[in-house]
Structure 1
Amino acid sequence: MARPHRRTRADEVVRVPRRLDARLLVPVLISWPVVAFVALLVPTAWVWSAALLAGIGSAGVVRTRPPSSAVRLTALTFAVLALLLLATAGHRTVRDVGPLEHLAGAQAVVTVRGSVAAEPRVVGGVLADGDFAVTGGAEEAGREPMVLVRVDVREVEGRGRATAVSAPILVMGDESWAGVRWHEDVQAVVRLAPAEAGDAVVALARPKSPPTLAGHPGAVFRAADSVRSDFRAATAGLSNDARGLVPALVIGDTSRTPEDLTAAMLDTGMSHLSAVSGSNVTLVLAVGLGLCRLVGVPRRGRPWVALGVLAAFVVLARPEPSVIRAAVMGAVGLLALSTSRRQAGVPALSGAVAVLLVWDPWLARSYGFALSSMATLGLLLFAQPWGKAIARALPTRLGWFGPVLAVPLAAQAVCGPIVVPLQGTVSLVAVPANLLAAPLVGPTTILGVAVAVLSVIWVEGASWVAWLAGAPAQGIAWVARSCAEMPLGNLEWGDSAAAALGLAGVTVAVVVLTPWAWRRARLRPLLGLAAVLVAVAAAAPTNIVTWPPPGWVFVACDVGQGDGLVINSDSTEGTGHAVVVDAGEDPDLIDGCLDRLGVDVVDLVVLSHFHADHVAGLAGVVAGRNVAEIRVSPVAEPGTMARGVRELAATEGIPVGELRAGDTVRVGPVTAEVWWPAHLISDGSVPNNGSVVMTVRVRGVDLLLSGDMEREAAAQVLRAARRDPQRWGEVDVLKVAHHGSSNRDDQLLEMVEGRLAVISVGEDNDYGHPAPALLSALASRGFAVYRTDLSGDVAVTVDADGEIAVRTRE
């Protein structure tokens, strides 16, 4: 008779799954937003006080009897919060020492000395092989690229006194700053300006002179520079996309990545592949540990090898916050993908987040940090169980596809609510795009590492290996561009906090209900198919069907590279009457937009100036409509276009008048105050600086329509607005001047209270509009930006409660 099998401890370990340890995760997730939205914004003394109270609270809770799990969790939460608040207060106290913040508030001109903390980032141009080159529309007058450099300031000299400080600033310089290198000591004369509350830098700086080199980096950093330079040389012969992606994936060098490729990867949820990320580090570490096994490195020695690989990677990619974050998350990600250590993954991630926030509390406000952390958490929580569940649902031969699909699904599930406030859309192609690109990432990264190592001793040989790395990199770029161009690739969702919470709720519901729905669908396949079709139909964008949106007051028509603006002037809140400001260049485009809005009567046409992209489409406005009056700029240049407008108006029997600064125009519910032109400006573009600039009030919404004015006219408008703030009012929506040109006055942006910006611009235009420097300026000031080249017609709406919203047609 066979003896019964005795259940051993080993059997229990194998058969009984251990629960994930989330004891540290909860305190970290509670403390993180406190640091981001409270501790970095309130006075430093308050943070010290809060840290003390949290510490006292933790000590008090620990004494509670009996010591239950809830009590221990509460005590740990207070302890973690105290630690992070203490670190934040300490960092802020060090930064507050010295007069730097006060000088920035006074916009003083000072001399700063410090070290370059990050590689220069060119906005509006690219760095290639150490040289500076302007991309797209360089011939346009006044379009100057900007170089952004973060500098850790050690000394500031202003108002006759030199003071030691320890605080970062962001230098917004010209091409003379493109040559500085990480960890170099520099000195420069700059004009300071205050940064936004909670920013990672203390001040913004506009250089008054080129930087002066005051010291060289150490030997280790010079060696890293040499490797990066050799790597660039080895990959110089690749295509534009591959030349940008291979260094970006391997060493975090994004200086040669084409801007349109970066945008495509952002739209398709592949942005983690356009720069160094935790997933790249995980792959590099996995390869390193695999080689350790092959060559017989003892198990105890492998962690030290991994640590060495991490250290070398950080030095090579630059120890900036994003790189440190990627290194830490990559190490945790390796735990996430390791079956034997998965249980340690969540505590490791929680500890990593806490340590990084202690090291740099401003990471708490970083979208990159949030996305990296949440993507890693998604891998830890969902990748393995979802992979197994999907594999069970698939035929046996396709079971391998379960874990492959689970990784992008897990990342998308947890990162979607974070991305929504940035983009206002939900990507419907992110998962398939990442699935298609995933097999190409490994070969690109591994071969890229081989290029980096070989280039140190043999650049020519490394260039041959670079061709092998470039092939899969080109494939990644093709996937990004192809998926970005797919129709209905993005579902409009909204960019508010409520929209993010709504998506989070939908995601939770889908995760919870999918197993139940799958079981029911297997029992009743036709019912399951019908449910899928209904869900797809419900998710499909319906903007075109419901256009124009209810309550619209202003629409920027998609007229290509030009302006075609429509203001609802119907006194009964219908859509039959309108004021039209500019007509674009193509009559058919403005005519189609007015037809979609149901405009039959044009009470007034305002032509801001006489460039073709604003007036050549006038025939499309008057075609089949009753046009009451046309008002134009008194600056009648170019003369041929000005004469053409008057001839068309005479033919149609429409009176023509002029608008000048100080005029007020009232049409039904629309009131327009004209701020410019007051006189002729001969500097810059005469027609552009002669644009009619108006603030328009319609049903409680205030618009600033700025034509194509350049910085000279903008300065005059700014002075007039400051002299008469009551007449200026509180502007809700800015129609960005000149299709987003960089020729502007940023101070005017501060006069827009509503922080909504609309850019009327043509897709793939030849001028590089909108300028990246302009987009950066809007983003740094918290503007929500809407563009006709990306979204088609853009409508501003207002409801009965006065709530302003933006709807787009695409």
Structure 2
Amino acid sequence: MTQMQATNHPTSLRERFTTQLPLVWISLAFLAGIVLASLVPLPLWAWIAIFVFSILLAIAFRLLATRIPSLSSLREPQGGAFVLPLVLLPALILGSARYQLSIPNFDAFHIAFYNDRDYDLLITGYLVEPPDYRDAYTNLRLQVTNVDTGDRNLEANGLLLVRVDANQSFHYGDIIRLRGKLKTPPENEDFSYRDYLAAQRIHSYMSSAEVTVLPGRGGNPISAALYALKERSLANIYRIFPDPESSLLAGILLGVDTGLTKDLQQAFKDTGTAHIIAISGFNISIIAALFVTLFSRFFGPRWGAALAIFGIVFYTVLVGGDAAVVRAAIMGTLALFARQIGRRQFALNTLLAVAMLMCLWNPLYVWDVGFQLSFFATLGLILYAEPFSHFSAGVLARYFPLSTVEKIIQPLSDFVLLTFAAQLTTIPIMAYHFQRISLVSFIANPFILPAQPAVMILGGMAVFLSLLWIPLGQLAAWVAWPFAAYTIRIVELFDRVPHGTIILGDLSIGFVILFYAALLALTVGGSRFGEWVQAARERASVIGVGSVVLVLSLALLLISRAASAFPDRLLHVTFLEVGSADAVLIKTPSGKSVLINGGPSVTILSDELGRRVSAFDRGLSWLVIANTEEDQVASLPRVIERYPPDNVLWSGNEQGSFSSRVLDEYLTLQAIHVTMAENDQTLDLGDGATLRVLSTGSRGSVLLIEWKNFRALLPIGMSFEALDELRNGASVGPVSVLSLADSGYAPSNPPEWIANLNPELIVLNVAAGDIDGMPDRETLETIKDYSLLRTDQNGWIEITTNGEQMWVNVERNQE
């Protein structure tokens, strides 16, 4: 019997790949045709002619096979290996023809016809997506309707990506008029922005533009309603959750990951957990599988799978249903469906067929990184998830009793093997596009994935309830917050592991091809690896070691966060790392929060405040504007929506910058009380601590924090008039802490000023590689004999005092 099985195995393997998987090969041929056409440019009529010829050739061969006895065997299943290429040739040519057809014709009615002209254009259109808000700018996607070249207004079509100034509000369907120069999207050796946008049918780009919102609405009413729901949900997320947890949930639930700081986004990438915040087939496949595990325990396998698919559909609709999300949802649902029915042949046929249909819609998906990751992650789950589970169960059965194996294998499969199966087939894609491989990801994912169902379910429930009634959503948010906080803390913990990421540099496409060829050979050619083994054991409802770790970690987070919410009767002054600007957070002895300025970055400031302001009371007692320059206040209009102040103390010109004007308008609309700063004005911080205005002018103010023997001077709005008024510091006297003015600009920090103040500690707020070359060498020479801490080197700097003693804590210690 053993010998017979060994003899029949090659035949069944051949039949599987030639008879049982026809759509696999047809779809692969179609995709290969798209790549071929990109390498061999031929006119469309040539590809159509070759396609017709290939169809006629296949028909002719089929007719010959019915009449010539020597070819009749090729009609049998075992002859499929020879007949299949004749069937694939038309698919190959069809893919090439479809690619050629997708190349746009830039005539005078297409907006790209007007690219790279030396004069400004007036372009009118409507927004086809919600605005993409970033720290320093906002991206808008416009469906063009008209273009005015200066001679006349012409009808036009096509999509346009435009970058406009930050702190302007837009909505889906807004009709806007742009003035600016139209460009072809750029490309370089490292990245082709042109190809990236072309895959989204965008061939024109404006790097800056003047924007005017016109009356009327455009777009689809259904899409408008969905985007309005998404916009309201996003606002509520930031209202009921603190940062960075709110930004994480915005990425997971709504696909808006721009709220995370660059450092935190990089931490997710370096730990191989970025799939959690990116809407991809990888993310949806894993989360859907975890949902099935959870729902099946309560509703059974069939209802569990149905509820998981319903969850994916609802999620797709909620985030707006754009092409990337729909693609990921289809891939993720396929992986889930394949896992439930247990038939890889059917799943592979369906996966490749869906990939072919997607590329039939847009051939440029072949080069889209998101499409590639979604496809190969789903492929990995289909091919390897269950075999890995059964293999692991067999290995464990050698060392443990069956009852113990049943308890271990399910959490091991759901939180380790599932991810490993998806990672196995995406490693070369990640290595090729991002030039790095995360080794620590294989350890980080098992710790992070168990919390993700709770993050999505509880977080989604909190957002849903907030849409009904904010206080109800806030209660649910407090239940969901620990799981999101746990996710971030674990990512940051593993990101500190040395050598957790291997930087590879540029890789050849040959490496990717060789890897997949070797993996295919191992999968297909292994004597037993490619065979489906018996069904999985019954699920055991147990709490594994990973769950215990998760529960203990959540408890620790809750205790530490609750403890931080109670006042410790100390004064905390924290200089936040916001670049070459000032953002100072004061936590008073009574536990109140006072923010002075904010810097240019919304994501950084919101993240820093979220980690320090109580999650149970996220309002600010006071917001102090000490300088109205753009980089000093650009983050505030959007951040104070999340951390609303009870009162505002304002110094400087309200019209001093664009962001200061927006901020002033917002405070007026929200009826927030604003007090204009005056010399010697004092804010009571509680327990005798005060914040005093020493000098104020059109540029801003110089502030002094005092509590018993502790004195901290903040010359954020320093001016030459202030220097004279304060007699170069002689009228102030010695201080405990001095913040250098204007990131160390020498004229704002003269030697007499430093000598008269004689600080125990100097703090320098400056960005790494400051574009203006700050701090000046003269300033560094002046303060060389003083203790100095810099935000570009030390990160955030926290000064804690009881009024008699001072303790200093920093984010990064320098050797």
Normalising by structure 1, report the TM-score. Answer: 0.53
> Aligned equivalents of 1:437 and 1:29: distance in 2?
35
Aligned to 1:53: 50
The answer to whether the 8 Å contact 1:98/1:165 transfers is yes
Aligned to 2:323: 321
The answer to whether the 8 Å contact 2:131/2:140 transfers is yes
Aligned to 1:212: 213
Q: Find the partner of 2:443 among 421, 432, 435.
A: 432
> Aligned equivalents of 1:763 and 1:30: distance in 2?
56
> Aligned equivalents of 2:772 and 2:44: distance in 1?
41
Where in structure 2 are the equivalents of 1:93-132 lying within 5 Å? Answer: 93=104, 98-123=109-134, 125=135
> Aligned equivalents of 1:221 and 1:448: distance in 2?
24
Q: Give, as a single letter, the amino acid of the residue that structure 2 aligns with 1:362.
A: L
Q: 3-state SS of the aligned residue for 1:400? A: helix
Aligned to 1:486: 497
The answer to whether the 8 Å contact 2:305/2:336 transfers is no
Aligned to 1:379: 381
> Aligned equivalents of 1:112 and 1:273: distance in 2?
38
Aligned to 1:270: 273
Cα distance change of structure 1 residues 26 and 739 upon mapping to structure 2, 3 Å threshold = farther
Q: Find the partner of 1:156 among 147, 153, 156.
A: 147
Q: 3-state SS of the aligned residue for 1:187? A: strand
> Aligned equivalents of 2:310 and 2:154: distance in 1?
39
> Aligned equivalents of 2:465 and 2:793: distance in 1?
41
Q: Give, as a single letter, the amino acid of the residue that structure 2 aligns with 1:436.
A: F
Aligned to 1:400: 410
> Aligned equivalents of 2:219 and 2:410: distance in 1?
49
1:258 equivalent to 2:261? Answer yes
1:280 to partner: Cα distance: 5.1
* Structure with bigger gyration radius: 2
> Aligned equivalents of 2:15 and 2:440: distance in 1?
35
Aligned to 1:454: 465
Cα distance change of structure 1 residues 448 and 223 upon mapping to structure 2, 3 Å threshold = farther
1:171 to partner: Cα distance: 1.1
Cα distance change of structure 1 residues 505 and 308 upon mapping to structure 2, 3 Å threshold = closer
The answer to whether the 8 Å contact 1:57/1:78 transfers is yes
Cα distance change of structure 1 residues 288 and 422 upon mapping to structure 2, 3 Å threshold = closer
Cα distance change of structure 1 residues 426 and 94 upon mapping to structure 2, 3 Å threshold = same
Q: 3-state SS of the aligned residue for 2:207? A: strand
Normalising by structure 2, report the TM-score. Answer: 0.53
The answer to whether the 8 Å contact 1:252/1:275 transfers is yes
Q: Give, as a single letter, the amino acid of the residue that structure 2 aligns with 1:243.
A: S
Identity score, percent = 21
Cα distance change of structure 1 residues 381 and 271 upon mapping to structure 2, 3 Å threshold = same
1:473 equivalent to 2:472? Answer no
Aligned to 1:32: 31
Q: Find the partner of 1:173 among 155, 164, 171.
A: 164
Q: Find the partner of 2:475 among 451, 464, 481.
A: 464
The answer to whether the 8 Å contact 1:51/1:85 transfers is no
1:238 equivalent to 2:248? Answer no
1:191 equivalent to 2:181? Answer yes
1:467 to partner: Cα distance: 2.5
Cα distance change of structure 1 residues 766 and 31 upon mapping to structure 2, 3 Å threshold = farther
The answer to whether the 8 Å contact 1:112/1:157 transfers is yes
1:240 to partner: Cα distance: 1.6
The answer to whether the 8 Å contact 1:59/1:75 transfers is no
1:767 to partner: Cα distance: 11
Q: 3-state SS of the aligned residue for 1:204? A: strand
Cα distance change of structure 1 residues 107 and 429 upon mapping to structure 2, 3 Å threshold = farther
The answer to whether the 8 Å contact 2:123/2:148 transfers is yes
Deviation digits for residues 675-697 of structure 1, max 9, x if unmatched?
xxxxxxxxxxxxxxxxxxxxxxx
Cα distance change of structure 1 residues 91 and 439 upon mapping to structure 2, 3 Å threshold = same
Cα distance change of structure 1 residues 504 and 17 upon mapping to structure 2, 3 Å threshold = closer
Cα distance change of structure 1 residues 16 and 508 upon mapping to structure 2, 3 Å threshold = closer
1:387 to partner: Cα distance: 1.6
The answer to whether the 8 Å contact 2:290/2:453 transfers is no
1:84 to partner: Cα distance: 3.8
Aligned to 1:625: none
> Aligned equivalents of 1:179 and 1:51: distance in 2?
48
The answer to whether the 8 Å contact 2:116/2:181 transfers is no
1:216 to partner: Cα distance: 5.1
1:328 to partner: Cα distance: 1.3
> Aligned equivalents of 1:413 and 1:298: distance in 2?
28
1:450 to partner: Cα distance: 1.8
1:361 to partner: Cα distance: 2.4
The answer to whether the 8 Å contact 2:768/2:792 transfers is no
The answer to whether the 8 Å contact 1:249/1:280 transfers is no
Aligned to 1:221: 223
> Aligned equivalents of 1:182 and 1:400: distance in 2?
44
- Give unmatched runs, 5+ long, in structure 1: 1-14, 126-144, 518-560, 563-737, 745-761, 769-810
The answer to whether the 8 Å contact 1:36/1:362 transfers is no
Aligned to 2:350: 348
1:248 to partner: Cα distance: 1.6
1:249 equivalent to 2:252? Answer yes
Cα distance change of structure 1 residues 146 and 230 upon mapping to structure 2, 3 Å threshold = closer
The answer to whether the 8 Å contact 1:61/1:71 transfers is no
1:507 to partner: Cα distance: 6.2
1:473 to partner: Cα distance: 1.6
Q: Give, as a single letter, the amino acid of the residue that structure 2 aligns with 1:182.
A: Y
Deviation digits for residues 713-763 of structure 1, max 9, x if unmatched?
xxxxxxxxxxxxxxxxxxxxxxxxx9777899xxxxxxxxxxxxxxxxx99
1:439 to partner: Cα distance: 0.5
Q: Give, as a single letter, the amino acid of the residue that structure 1 aligns with 2:207.
A: R
Aligned to 1:358: 360
> Aligned equivalents of 2:348 and 2:437: distance in 1?
27
1:109 to partner: Cα distance: 2.4
> Aligned equivalents of 2:107 and 2:451: distance in 1?
47
Q: Give, as a single letter, the amino acid of the residue that structure 2 aligns with 1:261.
A: L
Deviation digits for residues 105-163 of structure 1, max 9, x if unmatched?
4355222233323343345x1xxxxxxxxxxxxxxxxxxx2322332323333253444
> Aligned equivalents of 1:392 and 1:474: distance in 2?
36
Aligned to 2:335: 333
The answer to whether the 8 Å contact 1:448/1:466 transfers is yes
Deviation digits for residues 239-296 of structure 1, max 9, x if unmatched?
3221011222122122422322211111222111113233554546985999799899
Cα distance change of structure 1 residues 322 and 78 upon mapping to structure 2, 3 Å threshold = same
Q: 3-state SS of the aligned residue for 2:158? A: strand
The answer to whether the 8 Å contact 1:277/1:323 transfers is yes
Deviation digits for residues 320-354 of structure 1, max 9, x if unmatched?
22212122112212213314454422122112211
Over the aligned positions, Cα root-mean-square deviation in angstroms equals 4.4
Q: 3-state SS of the aligned residue for 2:468? A: coil
The answer to whether the 8 Å contact 1:387/1:406 transfers is yes
